[in-house]
């Protein structure tokens, strides 16, 4: 179809359809006109606008009932004409507006909306929407005059009724959007920008509709959730736009106190108009506060994120435009805004943070005393209710509550000090934190986990960093919550307080709580740690910078006072286990700062004796307190950086004590603290930290080892230093170790256990530093000699002298094995020395005359003491002696001339432990025997065959019936472990000692019974491997 561009052509084409429609108002005639309109250009249609609209308007005005389908088609045709043209006459705009609204009006005398089809309602709403957008320039303002107030009120009431009562979502949304256009708050940019006076006039006009609009919209917003999120979002947007316009602070400030009198002809209109004076604005604000509270409570927990996002926009819009007039409502609005900071939706979170940051940057709270007071009161109320809420809410509710608390603090920003200066506010807030942060100390595993032996001594230095990092992630378990997010929010609360608040005031207050009661001590320490981190700006998320920059001297002073309190004897040496030895030392100790902490607080008060029945809860609590204080030291080091080096004299020694603690959690936390100190003070590693501060550490150890009360802690420090240092430390601690040996010689009965711990640490370190390398060199040297001897034997005939020398050496070795040794140690060494390599000048027979390395001499000295202590009456001492003895053998292994005489001397006491001692000692002694056999070889053959083997085989035979009858619980008994160890170790013993055929037969007889299917599986497996070892040995001997 051709397009008609000129009005003449268009008139010729449209005239027949318009005449036909005027004569007969039918759907077909409307459709014919609609079809012709499609062929007319917009410019031509603009000239013929009123001509074309006349038959359509006439169809709507015809008296009598009309079919809905006809009305719908007419309205849609009007809408298409308006969409293509502009309304330039005020009268036409008002008449069309009235006629379209009449299509939706209910029957006369009825208060209910007209029972029209949904299609017709939607068509009329869209036509009104199009009409408002087609009004040209100032023409639109003709609708917003006092004289048109009834017409506007009619349209507003119709649209509000549709938005509230219709069930169709599309009609509800369209009605709300049409209302938004009607109050000149359209989202599009097509409308002319209104000047200040025009906006003021519209505000006065819409004030008449504010009660009806706000109440209806609040019902829509809080209505059935099935209406969909789009309806709720549109209603919230319309609500804050109309309220922001009518209650705008700028407009209300220009309203005169007295209402101007209108002319007589406008007196009836004046009754509909509202004077927005102080009284009206105050009363309206109170009523809006109720509606806002209801809306906020509903929308803040709406399941759809777009509704919550629109709620953020509501708060932002009203806070920006109505901060004075709606001050009473901001208690609810700010609560909603702050509560959505941690919303599950990232869009809501980011927008909420953006709004909060904008509020802080514009200093809306700082410059508005009313808002600051509202926040302070909200904070006080929330702090009062916090313990109850944390005890009753689920984790989601707790996150919301703490997000609210954190948001209040962030919004107050520098104004926090006005709150903290109030005794009531500070007391409420601090006690709330103390109760919420209460730890769950019922876990027995925390107390049970122990650091046994030296399992970590031989690990590579790099593994320390990984292990320490892992320990610092140890999860705390709290009484009132389990979600990690809750703890992170509490950390942020404390850090924001430290960032904005008066640090001296806060530290002094929480230090008072720390010392007030043991119930609050752990919580107060956690808060103090976070306050210091926050004051330094570490990991704190704030909305605005503080007004006064941080003074490092003040920060350092606070840290020193907290550190002195942490390391005080009453707070550092706590009962963490039922270990009698540790408790005896821990509760007679004076503050170690008396001798090793030149910068610390010295106290001479002795601690009270331990309670007779200390509970697991108490020990658990003490463990966590020490760990939290260690975490505090880490935090202080990170805050001060290299400046913390000045505090190492008072901090490093106590941390090293705890790194050597037997409680696993304390030890790992202390190692993590050492790593943190290294990072903060720019040390390359923990080893470097220890080595560079070893002079004062060794001095402290030396002094403390001479005092009974300090010996255990000094041994822990030495143990930690040895485990995490290298051989360069040995010359520094050598004198200390000699002092230990001499003291041990004078007091075997009282202090043996403590000193054996020191000796065990020393020998473990020597094995780590020298054991493997020396063993490899010795093995290489022996292999080289064997190869050279084999090659020489293959190249030349064996002479008579060599045969004679071989048999003489055999006789001497046999005498040594039978124990026929001279009395003096030098003669022993000469006899033990092999004679085959006599022509070599630097042979091992001169090794005894050469000055021994310090670590070898040290191992000999320690082994001397072990020989005497093997018969101690205390089982725990004997077990420790056996552990130390095994390490001594490992260190002395490359020096056979010294190891063999010592093995000869230790043998009687070791045999006693093997055949007539507690099963635990027998098990440990057998382990030492295996190590001794591996290092000494066939030197022990005769002794083992005569003194030990018969007892072992008889024990295996006698225990076999019991293990065959036992159930699965037997696998956890000492008897089973001893059987298993003997079966697993006998094969290597026979191999290393080169046992004879008769001895091998005894071993075979003892193990055969364990091949029975009735024996426990592990014993069967050990017994199955033993005959294969014996078979290979018998073949070699044959």
Most confident of 249-258, 278-287, 406-415: 278-287
* pLDDT for 721: 87
**Greater pLDDT, 263 or 1022:** 1022
**Greater pLDDT, 910 or 318:** 318
Question: Residue 793's pLDDT band (boundaries 50, 70, 90)?
Answer: very low
**Greater pLDDT, 368 or 403:** 403
Residue pair 764/457 in contact (Cβ under 8 Å)? The answer is yes
* pLDDT for 164: 92
Rounded Cα distance between 915 and 953, Å, is 12
Question: Residue 1013's pLDDT band (boundaries 50, 70, 90)?
Answer: confident
* pLDDT for 360: 77
Rounded Cα distance between 538 and 553, Å, is 17
For 233, what's the count of Cα atoms within 13 Å in the CB-facing half-sphere? 13
Among 240-254, 598-612, 842-856, 945-959, the minimum mean pLDDT is found in 598-612
Mean pLDDT (the chain) is 81
Rounded Cα distance between 674 and 323, Å, is 52
* pLDDT for 208: 92
Question: Residue 382's pLDDT band (boundaries 50, 70, 90)?
Answer: confident
Is residue 617 predicted with pLDDT exceeding 80?
Answer: yes
Q: pLDDT of 819-873, one tens digit each?
A: 665 544 444 434 443 433 334 444 444 444 467 788 888 888 888 888 888 888 7
CA 837 to chain centre: 67
**Greater pLDDT, 205 or 390:** 205
**Greater pLDDT, 459 or 518:** 518
Q: pLDDT of 134-145, one tens digit each?
A: 987 788 888 888
Which residue matches tokens 């022996």?
782
Question: Residue 750's pLDDT band (boundaries 50, 70, 90)?
Answer: low
Quick one: how many helices (H) and strands (E) in the chain?
51, 0
Quick one: CA dihedral 221, 226, 229, 230, positive or negative? negative
Is residue 341 predicted with pLDDT exceeding 90?
Answer: no
Is residue 918 predicted with pLDDT exceeding 70?
Answer: yes
| Assigned token pair, 223 | 């209505």
Is residue 398 predicted with pLDDT exceeding 60?
Answer: yes
CA 209 to chain centre: 52
Compute the CA torsion angle 687, 693, 694, 700 (nearest 10 deg).
-130
| Assigned token pair, 722 | 């040895």
Is residue 148 predicted with pLDDT exceeding 50?
Answer: yes
Residue pair 319/333 in contact (Cβ under 8 Å)? The answer is yes
* pLDDT for 408: 85
**Greater pLDDT, 41 or 739:** 41
* pLDDT for 749: 63
Q: pLDDT of 557-580, one tens digit each?
A: 999 999 999 999 889 989 888 764
CA 381 to chain centre: 28
Average pLDDT over residues 8-37: 91
Task: Of 697, 743, 707, 715, give the one whose Cα is nearest residue 598.
Answer: 697
Is residue 898 predicted with pLDDT exceeding 60?
Answer: yes
Rounded Cα distance between 657 and 715, Å, is 8
Q: pLDDT of 218-271, one tens digit each?
A: 999 999 888 999 999 999 999 999 999 999 999 998 888 776 655 545 556 777
* pLDDT for 473: 54
* pLDDT for 1012: 86
| Assigned token pair, 430 | 């601090």
Is residue 155 predicted with pLDDT exceeding 90?
Answer: yes
Question: Residue 367's pLDDT band (boundaries 50, 70, 90)?
Answer: low
Is residue 972 predicted with pLDDT exceeding 80?
Answer: yes
Average pLDDT over residues 874-891: 86
Question: Residue 175's pLDDT band (boundaries 50, 70, 90)?
Answer: very high
Among 36-45, 220-229, 764-773, 831-840, the minimum mean pLDDT is found in 831-840
Q: What are phi and psi of 102, to 5 degrees?
A: -60, -30
* pLDDT for 456: 42
* pLDDT for 864: 83
| Assigned token pair, 998 | 């008769």
* pLDDT for 713: 81
How is the chain split among helix, strand and coil, in percent rounded to 5? 75, 0, 25
Percent of the chain surpassing pLDDT 70 = 83
Is residue 371 predicted with pLDDT exceeding 80?
Answer: no
């Amino acid at each position: 179809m051709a397009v008609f561009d000129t009005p003449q052509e268009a008139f010729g084409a449209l005239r027949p359809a318009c005449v036909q429609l005027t004569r007969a108002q039918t759907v077909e005639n409307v459709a014919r006109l609609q079809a012709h309109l499609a062929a007319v250009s917009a410019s031509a249609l603009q000239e013929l606008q009123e001509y074309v609209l006349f038959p359509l308007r006439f169809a709507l005005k015809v008296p009598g009932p009309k079919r809905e389908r006809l009305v719908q088609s007419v309205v849609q045709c009007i809408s298409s004409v308006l969409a293509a043209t502009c309304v330039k006459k005020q009268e036409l705009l008002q008449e069309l507006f009235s006629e379209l609204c009449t299509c939706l009006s209910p029957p006369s005398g009825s208060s209910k909306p007209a029972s029209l089809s949904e299609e017709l309602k939607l068509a009329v709403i869209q036509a009104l929407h199009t009409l408002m957008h087609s009004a040209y320039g100032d023409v639109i303002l003709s609708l917003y005059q006092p004289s048109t107030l009834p017409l506007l009120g009619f349209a507003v009431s119709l649209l509000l009724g549709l938005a509230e009562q219709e069930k169709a979502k599309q009609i509800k949304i369209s009605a709300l959007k049409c209302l938004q256009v009607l109050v000149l708050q359209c989202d599009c940019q097509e409308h002319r920008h209104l000047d200040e006076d025009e906006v003021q006039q519209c505000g006065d006009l819409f004030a008449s509709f504010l009660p009806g609009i706000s109440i209806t919209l609040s019902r829509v917003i809080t209505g059935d959730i099935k209406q969909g999120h789009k309806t709720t979002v549109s209603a919230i947007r319309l609500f804050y736009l109309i309220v922001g316009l009518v209650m705008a602070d700028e407009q209300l400030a220009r309203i005169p106190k007295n209402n101007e009198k209108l002319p007589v002809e406008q007196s009836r209109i004046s009754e509909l108009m509202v004077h927005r004076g102080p009284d009206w604005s105050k009363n309206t604000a109170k009523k809006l506060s109720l509606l806002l509270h209801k809306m906020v409570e509903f929308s803040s927990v709406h399941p759809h994120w777009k509704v919550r996002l629109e709620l953020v926009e509501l708060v932002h819009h009203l806070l920006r435009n109505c901060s004075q007039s709606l001050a009473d409502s901001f208690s609810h609005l700010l609560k909603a805004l702050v509560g959505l900071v941690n919303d599950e939706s990232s869009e809501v979170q980011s927008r909420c943070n953006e709004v909060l940051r904008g509020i802080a940057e514009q200093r809306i709270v700082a410059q508005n005393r009313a808002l600051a007071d509202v926040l302070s009161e909200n904070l006080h109320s929330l702090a009062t209710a916090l313990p109850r809420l944390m005890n009753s809410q689920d984790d989601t509710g707790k996150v919301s509550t703490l997000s609210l608390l954190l948001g209040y603090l962030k919004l107050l920003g520098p104004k926090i000090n006005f709150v903290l200066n109030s005794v009531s506010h500070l007391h409420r807030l601090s006690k709330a934190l103390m109760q919420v942060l209460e730890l769950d100390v019922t876990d027995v595993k925390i107390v049970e986990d122990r650091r046994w032996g030296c399992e970590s001594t031989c690990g590579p230095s790099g593994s320390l960093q990984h292990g320490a990092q892992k320990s610092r992630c140890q999860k705390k378990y709290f009484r009132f919550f389990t979600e990690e997010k809750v703890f992170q929010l509490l950390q942020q609360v404390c850090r924001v307080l430290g960032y904005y608040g008066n640090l001296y005031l806060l530290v002094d207050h929480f230090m008072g709580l720390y010392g007030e009661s043991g119930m609050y001590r752990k919580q107060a320490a956690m808060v103090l740690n976070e306050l210091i981190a926050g004051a330094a700006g570490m990991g704190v998320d704030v909305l605005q910078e503080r007004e006064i920059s941080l003074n490092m001297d003040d920060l350092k002073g606070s840290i020193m006072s907290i550190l002195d309190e942490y390391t005080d004897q009453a707070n550092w040496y706590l009962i963490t286990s039922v270990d009698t030895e540790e408790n005896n030392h821990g509760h007679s100790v004076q503050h170690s700062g008396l001798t090793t902490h030149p910068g610390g607080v010295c106290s001479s008060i002795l601690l009270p004796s331990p309670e007779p029945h200390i509970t697991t809860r108490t020990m658990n609590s003490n463990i966590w307190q020490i760990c939290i204080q260690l975490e505090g030291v880490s935090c202080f080091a990170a805050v001060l950086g290299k400046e913390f080096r000045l505090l190492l004299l008072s901090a490093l020694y106590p941390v090293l004590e705890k790194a050597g603690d037997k409680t696993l959690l304390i030890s790992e936390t202390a190692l993590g603290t050492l790593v943190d100190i290294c990072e903060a003070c720019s040390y390359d590693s923990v080893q470097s930290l220890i080595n560079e501060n070893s002079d004062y550490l060794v001095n402290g150890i030396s002094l403390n080892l001479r005092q009974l009360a300090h010996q255990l802690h000094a041994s822990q420090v030495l143990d930690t230093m040895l485990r995490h240092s290298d051989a360069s430390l040995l010359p520094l601690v050598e004198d200390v170790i000699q002092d230990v040996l001499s003291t041990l010689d004078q007091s075997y009965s009282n202090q043996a256990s403590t000193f054996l711990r020191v000796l065990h640490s020393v020998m473990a370190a020597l094995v780590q530093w020298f054991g493997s390398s020396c063993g490899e060199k010795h093995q290489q040297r022996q292999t080289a000699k064997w190869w050279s001897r084999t090659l020489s034997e293959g190249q030349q005939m064996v002479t008579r002298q060599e045969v004679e020398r071989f048999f003489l050496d055999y006789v001497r070795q046999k005498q040594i094995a039978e124990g026929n040794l001279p009395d003096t140690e030098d003669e022993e060494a000469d006899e033990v020395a092999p004679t085959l390599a006599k022509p070599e000048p630097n042979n091992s027979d001169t090794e005894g005359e050469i000055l021994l390395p310090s670590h070898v001499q040290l191992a000999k000295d320690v082994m001397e003491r072990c020989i005497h202590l093997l018969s101690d009456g205390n089982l725990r001492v004997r077990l420790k002696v056996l552990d130390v003895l095994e390490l001594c053998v490992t260190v002395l292994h490359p020096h056979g001339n010294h190891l063999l005489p010592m093995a000869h001397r230790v043998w009687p006491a070791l045999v006693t432990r093997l055949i007539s001692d507690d099963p635990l000692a027998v098990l440990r002694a057998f382990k030492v025997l295996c190590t001794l056999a591996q290092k000494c070889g066939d030197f022990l053959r005769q002794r083992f065959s005569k003194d030990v083997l018969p007892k072992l085989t008889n024990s295996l035979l006698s225990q076999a019936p019991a293990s065959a009858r036992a159930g699965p619980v037997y696998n956890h008994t000492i008897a089973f472990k001893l059987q298993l160890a003997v079966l697993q170790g006998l094969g290597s013993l026979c191999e290393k000692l080169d046992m004879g055929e008769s001895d091998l037969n005894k071993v075979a007889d003892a193990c055969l019974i364990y091949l029975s299917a009735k024996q426990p599986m592990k014993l069967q497996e050990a017994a199955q491997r033993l005959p294969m070892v014996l078979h290979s040995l018998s073949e070699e001997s044959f």
